[in-house]
């Protein structure tokens, strides 16, 4: 951090920083502050400013069973998609790192899904899992409603988890593979000289050395599952059937923009912010540690 070669012309430095600071203030700090303001106030019905409401908005949110439903479903979604996307990605990365013939092709193809917009993935999976036309359509012919995410909430949840995981599988794969490739070749060779086979090496050498990456991805996946799920839900299930896929961000959007309940939406935003900040904080701490691992 401490460099000896620097410029000391303060005004140039300040001038260079100004654009970003201005943007960050306008589009980050002010809105975040506004969310706080709204969360602790209540708009008077016929205009005339806001009235301080203390923790009333939070009390209202927390006493709403629909809110707790959204929180619960967000957790299910986060854990389900993270486990699926990370587990498969790790498996593929470990095998891809064996660098058998053709591994480059696998590597290339496995990265592509990440380029697909989450909403587009949602639409695609909505089709693939459509009861009338998708892969399960034939089974539905035999047994009506064997599979129908537009009626069955559990099916709908599976649908969005799969669509989301499909995209993040690629993301996790990229990171796992990069981490595996950064393990010094000599370490693997030393282990081979010690007489361990490929599977043993995966277990004894590669997996332990992947621990930091795993932890990093765990946090990223959970955080992103909160914020990046909106597009998929909006284009596949619209939060239904009967709110079975209404996650936290979707509910904020609905309460804020459709229900025009700014104070309630702001209180929910604050809770989500705290959650995301807590997760990110853990990760910042962890990045410090990651340096020592290397």
Partner 1 sequence: MIERTPVLNFVTHAVLLVGLAIAFVPMWLVFVAATLSLQEINTPPISLLPGSHLWENLAEAWARADLGVKLTNSLIMSVAVAAGKIALASITAFALVFFRFPGRMAAFWLIFITLMLPLEVRIVPTYAVAANVFSPYQTILDVTGFSWLWQQLTGTELALEWNLLNSYTGLILPLVATATGTFLYRQFFLTVPEELMEAAKMDGAGPLRFFREILMPLSITNMAALFTIMFIYAWNQYLWPLLITTDRTHRGTAVMALRQLIPMSGDSTGGGVPDWNVAMAGCLIVVAPALLVVALMQRFFVRGLIASDK
Q: Which two tokens stand for residue 197?
A: 């086979």
Could you give the CA distance from residue 45 to residue 53 in angstroms, rounded to a whole number? 14
Q: Min. distance of Cβ 8 from partner 1 in angstroms?
A: 6
- Is residue 7 close enough to count as binding partner 1 by CB under 8 A? yes
The answer to whether the CB of 212 falls within 8 A of the CB of 77 is no
The answer to whether the CB of 280 falls within 8 A of the CB of 219 is yes
- List binders of partner 1 among 165-224 (CB under 8 A): 166, 169-171, 174-175, 178, 188-189, 192, 197-199, 220, 223
- Is residue 25 close enough to count as binding partner 1 by CB under 8 A? yes
Q: Min. distance of Cβ 269 from partner 1 in angstroms?
A: 6
- Is residue 257 close enough to count as binding partner 1 by CB under 8 A? yes
Interface residue with partner 1 among 42, 134, 158, 183 (CB under 8 A) is 134
Q: Min. distance of Cβ 225 from partner 1 in angstroms?
A: 11
Q: Give the dihedral sign, CA 27/29/32/36.
A: negative
Q: Which two tokens stand for residue 57?
A: 């908005």
92 vs 157 by CB, closer to partner 1: 92
- Is residue 48 close enough to count as binding partner 1 by CB under 8 A? no
Q: Min. distance of Cβ 217 from partner 1 in angstroms?
A: 10
Picking from 90, 116, 104, 77, the residue whose alpha carbon sits closest to that of residue 226 is 77
- List binders of partner 1 among 91-130 (CB under 8 A): 91-92, 95-96, 98, 100, 102-103, 106, 108-120, 123-128, 130
Could you give the CA distance from residue 12 to residue 245 in angstroms, rounded to a whole number? 51
- What string of DSSP letters covers 37-94? HHHTEEE-TTSS-EEE-TTHHHHHHHT-HHHHHHHHHHHHHHHHHHHHHHHHHHHHHH
- Is residue 249 close enough to count as binding partner 1 by CB under 8 A? yes
66 vs 178 by CB, closer to partner 1: 178
- Is residue 153 close enough to count as binding partner 1 by CB under 8 A? no
Q: Min. distance of Cβ 244 from partner 1 in angstroms?
A: 13
Interface residue with partner 1 among 19, 45, 47, 184 (CB under 8 A) is 19
- Is residue 262 close enough to count as binding partner 1 by CB under 8 A? yes
The answer to whether the CB of 169 falls within 8 A of the CB of 113 is yes
- Is residue 20 close enough to count as binding partner 1 by CB under 8 A? yes
Could you give the CA distance from residue 26 to residue 270 in angstroms, rounded to a whole number? 18
The answer to whether the CB of 290 falls within 8 A of the CB of 212 is yes
- Is residue 76 close enough to count as binding partner 1 by CB under 8 A? no
- Is residue 65 close enough to count as binding partner 1 by CB under 8 A? no
Picking from 200, 205, 199, 202, the residue whose alpha carbon sits closest to that of residue 187 is 205
60 vs 116 by CB, closer to partner 1: 116
Q: Min. distance of Cβ 199 from partner 1 in angstroms?
A: 7
Could you give the CA distance from residue 38 to residue 41 in angstroms, rounded to a whole number? 5
- Is residue 227 close enough to count as binding partner 1 by CB under 8 A? yes
């Amino acid at each position: 951090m401490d460099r000896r070669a620097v410029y000391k012309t303060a005004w140039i430095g300040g001038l260079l920083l100004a654009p970003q600071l201005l943007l960050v203030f306008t589009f980050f700090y002010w809105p975040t502050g506004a969310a706080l303001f709204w969360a602790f106030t209540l708009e008077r019905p016929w205009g005339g400013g806001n009235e301080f409401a203390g923790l009333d908005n939070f009390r209202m949110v927390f006493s709403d069973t629909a809110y707790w439903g959204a929180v619960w479903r967000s957790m299910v979604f986060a854990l389900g998609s993270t486990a699926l996307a990370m587990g498969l990605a790790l498996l593929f990365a470990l095998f891809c790192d064996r660098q058998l013939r053709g591994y480059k092709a696998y590597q290339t193809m496995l990265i592509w899904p990440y380029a697909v917009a989450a909403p587009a993935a949602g639409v695609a999976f909505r089709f693939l899992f459509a009861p009338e036309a998708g892969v399960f359509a034939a089974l539905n012919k035999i047994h009506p409603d064997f599979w129908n995410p537009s009626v069955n909430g559990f099916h709908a949840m599976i649908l969005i988890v799969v669509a989301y995981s499909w995209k993040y599988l690629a993301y996790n794969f990229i990171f796992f593979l990069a981490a595996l490739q950064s393990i010094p070749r000599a370490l693997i060779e030393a282990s081979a000289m010690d007489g361990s086979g490929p599977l043993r090496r995966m277990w004894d050498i590669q997996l332990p050395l992947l621990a930091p990456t795993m932890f990093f991805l765990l946090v990223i996946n959970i955080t992103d599952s909160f914020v990046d799920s909106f597009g998929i839900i909006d284009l596949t299930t619209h939060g239904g059937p009967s709110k079975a896929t209404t996650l936290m961000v979707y509910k904020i959007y609905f309460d804020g923009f459709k229900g025009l309940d700014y104070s309630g939406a702001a209180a929910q935003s604050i809770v989500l912010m705290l959650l995301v900040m807590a997760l990110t904080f853990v990760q910042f701490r962890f990045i410090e540690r990651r340096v020592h691992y290397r």
